[in-house]
Amino acid sequence: MAKKANPLGSLISFIAWLTGVIVSLAVGVALIQGVLIVPYIGIVNEIAGWIVVFTTLLGAILAIVNRFR
């Protein structure tokens, strides 16, 4: 028997996913701007920030495409 979708569970999952995206973007932008640094890696902080931003946006786009496919 097919399981019915729980609307509250779906809403909570979406809120958790959206929170993760927002936090990841905030951390990535902070690394790029130099507000947040990881000790001992120097200039790599900015590169790490761009990687975080790029992969977060890519993951969000792929998740949206997969949801409506």
Given this model, what pLDDT does residue 39 score? 87
CA gap 30, 45 in Å, rounded: 9
pTM: 0.82
- Reading the chain (69 residues) residue by residue, the pLDDT tens digits are 556 778 888 899 999 999 999 999 999 999 999 999 988 887 799 999 999 999 999 999 999 999 888
Do 45 and 31 form a contact (C-beta atoms < 8 A)? yes
Given this model, what pLDDT does residue 49 score? 94
H or E element, residue 8 = helix 7-33
Given this model, what pLDDT does residue 42 score? 79
